[in-house]
Structure 1
Amino acid sequence: MDHASLAKLLTPDGWALLNALPPYDEKLAMAVSERLRAKGFEQDMVAAALTQSRLRGKAAAKFGPFVEGMLFTQAGLEQATRLVVGARHAQRYLAAGVDRVVDLTCGVGADAMAFAGVDLRVLATEIDEVTAAVATVNLRAFPEATVRHADGLALDLAAEGFTGPGAGIYADPARRTRSGKRIVDPKAYAPALDDVWDLRSQVPAVGIKVGPGISHNGLPDDCEAQWVSVDGDVVEAGLWFGPLAPDGHGRTALLLRTVDERTDARTFRADEHTEAPPRAVERVADIGSYLYEPDGAVIRAGLVADASRLLDGRLLDRTIAYVTTDTPHAETSTVPIATGYRILDSMPFGLKKLRGYLRERDVGRVTIKKRGTAVTPEHLRSQLALRGSAEATIVLTRVAGSQQILVVEPLDRTARSHPPAPDVTE
């Protein structure tokens, strides 16, 4: 979005047009555009409104009904924190005794909205002028929030009143280039990660959102690094310093599950009292009756060994994030740390044998999960050329170093609350 498009949308006619549009449908967009122009609306205004309608449609998964009053940029939407996660961020600041937050890189204002929504005073800065204007629109209902077009790192925090007791800092550095390519090196974030966490010398309560692929190596020793999943999808990681990490340092996983508009949360952390290495199967014959795939946030946080101990299981392979058990895990939480399957069969990897096995059972649709193998699900599916009416789930993985195929079915409880995910890779 450019300045001219934003200006047209913010006129009374432009805003009314945007909010009167039907839900965006790519197939109907051209016809809607032609109809609106025939009614006398300017082409640029129509194009801007349709673009925002499309972005609102995509944003609904993150913001729910709040999208109806929001504006977005494409890049800002891609990086914006989901509402359910932003609420957890805000609660963390409240619990730490913070009453005012500087959001150094506010983007379209997602986290700033969450902070202001719990009555924190917010100064939100954004270095891109159009994005700052969009954030201003999105935060218009919160008088305690101020948006400023500025470089957040250039702020004089003391002069702005954001040092001392009750002050907090939050940042969500840009992790994509202008062309949209993902930035992996934290030193290439905008701003660089080192520059942001250096601010903890001025304000101890510092929180930084980072990409979930961030390496464990090089993380500061004085932070809690937390990976977050929403309904099984790993969405971000966060680095929390000072009073924002009240339970200590190290790596944790936050698992959020939403059922019937209610979101339950579970924080999983390493067992600090256990130093014994996880058990692992020594041969294929040691495969148990059940298979558990830890939540992606647990895997990213490097807590698979701890999950294995909690499940009273053993790793299929010391380098693979699958756990096998002899009995089903008696889950007491509404948010399980792993998806469970009953193992129906196992066999060494071989295309001909697998094809024959599935055809004998009239399987025509197969969910393929994999870890520790170079086989691609799409290629394997085409090679299988199945025609049956039944469904099956297979797992391609290593067991004690041997390439194996496990035929599994979701456990009843898991199947009801979390259907098996589509094809996944490592």
Structure 2
Amino acid sequence: MDSKLDNFKWLSEPAAQQWLEKLSAVDGEVPMGMRKKMRDALGAERAVLVSQQVELRQRAKVKFEKGNDMLFTKRGLEQSTDEHIALYKSQQIPEQYRVADLCCGIGGDLISLSNCHSATGFDLDPVMCHAAAHNCGVHSVSATVRQLDVTADPNELGEFDFLHVDPDRRIETHRRTEVESYEPPLSIFEAMMERGVPMCIKIAPGALAPKHWVKNCKIEWIESRRECRQQILWFGDNAPAGSLVATEVGQTGMRWQVQGEMCEPESWTYSVNRFIYEPRPSVLAAGIAESVARQFNLDAIWPDVVYWTSEECLEAKWASVFEVEDVMPFDVATIRNCLAEKRVGRLEIKKRVAEVDPQQLRKELKLKGDESRVLLLAGFNQKVTAIIARRVETGP
């Protein structure tokens, strides 16, 4: 047996689990003294493996409630789907479908797919296969995991009603945005698309899907924890072809969803009204901000600056909303005096098309006080406008 795989499988055994449980309370790196004890007891290779697993489990807690019992590799954790997003996606697939999770990695999606469907995970890497099987066991779900090279025989997938495809997007430590360079190459699924096989393909948020795919699928950008995490291409009868959607998913499921089309503002106000709207990351990634803003009768302010404005406060969960207090040309002394009068000690600095170093600016502002504000910096026509505002809470 391959020594790498043998050692990784050992992590599921009681001898390794005892060490992992003993170190579960460690915050940060495993202490030097404990690492020496492990080397003496386990040998250098397995001691390193345990230390790495402890650190990966700490990072995994933000994605997985049971992260402290799961197994990870660095690449597998980085590319894994948050459990809340995984549950949301699995709920979009008809319950009666038999699902193949291709390139299942450590099983982030497979766990939720197996909760909602009859699901089988496939991966070329035997280490990932073992991690996925272990992690499904941690969550008490029944899932088969098989090692498979889908490029060799994609016809092996004929027994399934739906394909969930999560290709490797991190090669040689660089995140890939060109779908042609993914592994496995996504072109192998095109024949299935033409036959109408329902599927979803996860690609990087900034990747451009092939033009001949776009007209045949729904594209959804999914946001979680204030970042756009995934772009999903949905193919099948339940996916309106050509639609562009932005969605935020939280612990309790979908928080909001908007649909729009790619377009540019036809005019700008060149002035700021009482409220400013900054679209959330998934809306910006989808390129539908102007389209959605029109649905709310918002006005674009300046070219290339992704801020919209209105005189009334509208409930727009797809955007961060700010109530404007002061608008002025960018001048450090003027801004400092204004913030001092308001006794602002906590300041969030946001900038768009403005060549300003926020860290240096924060030092120069010499903040003192117990009030909080947001400083929006917007550049247009070689000038920077400073806007002092309060953040408006628009619900959970």
Q: TM-score, normalised by structure 1?
A: 0.83
* Structure 1 position 161, deviation (Å): 4.0
Indicate the residue corresponding to 1:47 in structure 2: 48
* Structure 1 position 7, deviation (Å): 3.7
Q: Report the CA distance shift for 1:211/1:132 in structure 2 as closer, same or farther (over 3 A).
A: same
| Pair 1:298 & 2:300 matched | no
| Pair 1:311 & 2:296 matched | yes
Q: Report the CA distance shift for 1:257/1:143 in structure 2 as closer, same or farther (over 3 A).
A: closer
Q: Report the CA distance shift for 1:91/1:393 in structure 2 as closer, same or farther (over 3 A).
A: same
Cα pair 2:279 2:319 within 8 Å, conserved: yes
Indicate the residue corresponding to 2:19 in structure 1: 17
| Pair 1:229 & 2:218 matched | no
* Structure 1 position 323, deviation (Å): 1.1
Cα pair 1:365 1:386 within 8 Å, conserved: no
Which deviates more from structure 2 when the two are superposed, residues 185-194 or residues 222-231?
A: 185-194
Q: Report the CA distance shift for 1:216/1:395 in structure 2 as closer, same or farther (over 3 A).
A: farther
* Structure 1 position 289, deviation (Å): 0.3
Counterpart mapping for 1:51-66 below 5 A: 51-65=52-66
* Structure 1 position 77, deviation (Å): 0.3
Letter of the 2:50 counterpart: A
Question: Which of 164, 182, 187 does residue 194 from structure 1 map onto?
Answer: 187
| Secondary structure in structure 1 of the residue aligned to 2:231 | strand
Cα pair 1:207 1:244 within 8 Å, conserved: no
Kindly provide the CA deviation profile for residues 109-134 of structure 1, in whole angstroms up to 9, marking residues without a partner as x: 11111111113232x22122222222
Q: Report the CA distance shift for 1:101/1:216 in structure 2 as closer, same or farther (over 3 A).
A: closer
**What is the aligned-residue identity percentage?**
24
Coordinate RMSD, CA, aligned: 2.8
| Pair 1:242 & 2:222 matched | no
Kindly provide the CA deviation profile for residues 166-193 of structure 1, in whole angstroms up to 9, marking residues without a partner as x: x111111111123x11112211111233
* Structure 1 position 104, deviation (Å): 1.9
Indicate the residue corresponding to 2:115 in structure 1: 117
| Pair 1:409 & 2:390 matched | yes
Indicate the residue corresponding to 2:366 in structure 1: 386
Question: Which of 252, 274, 278 does residue 289 from structure 1 map onto?
Answer: 274
* Structure 1 position 202, deviation (Å): 4.2
Kindly provide the CA deviation profile for residues 320-353 of structure 1, in whole angstroms up to 9, marking residues without a partner as x: 221111011145xxxx111111001111223343
Q: Distance in 1 between matches of 2:28 and 2:142?
A: 38
Q: Report the CA distance shift for 1:264/1:223 in structure 2 as closer, same or farther (over 3 A).
A: closer
Q: Distance in 1 between matches of 2:51 and 2:373?
A: 42
Letter of the 1:50 counterpart: S
Cα pair 1:207 1:238 within 8 Å, conserved: yes
Q: Distance in 2 between matches of 1:168 and 1:271?
A: 27
What 5-or-longer segments of structure 2 have no aligned partner? none
Letter of the 2:221 counterpart: W
Question: Which of 328, 339, 342 does residue 320 from structure 2 map onto?
Answer: 339
Report how many residues are paired: 391
Indicate the residue corresponding to 2:129 in structure 1: 132
Letter of the 2:235 counterpart: F
* Structure 1 position 397, deviation (Å): 1.1
Q: Distance in 2 between matches of 1:171 and 1:381?
A: 44
Q: Report the CA distance shift for 1:60/1:366 in structure 2 as closer, same or farther (over 3 A).
A: same
Cα pair 1:63 1:82 within 8 Å, conserved: yes
* Structure 1 position 279, deviation (Å): 6.1
Q: Distance in 2 between matches of 1:142 and 1:26?
A: 29
Q: Report the CA distance shift for 1:365/1:142 in structure 2 as closer, same or farther (over 3 A).
A: closer
Q: TM-score, normalised by structure 2?
A: 0.88
Q: Distance in 2 between matches of 1:90 and 1:301?
A: 21
Question: Which of 174, 198, 218 does residue 168 from structure 2 map onto?
Answer: 174
Question: Which of 292, 305, 325 does residue 310 from structure 2 map onto?
Answer: 325
Which deviates more from structure 2 when the two are superposed, residues 188-197 or residues 222-231?
A: 188-197
Kindly provide the CA deviation profile for residues 210-262 of structure 1, in whole angstroms up to 9, marking residues without a partner as x: 111123673521011100111422111100001341x443211111234xxx3
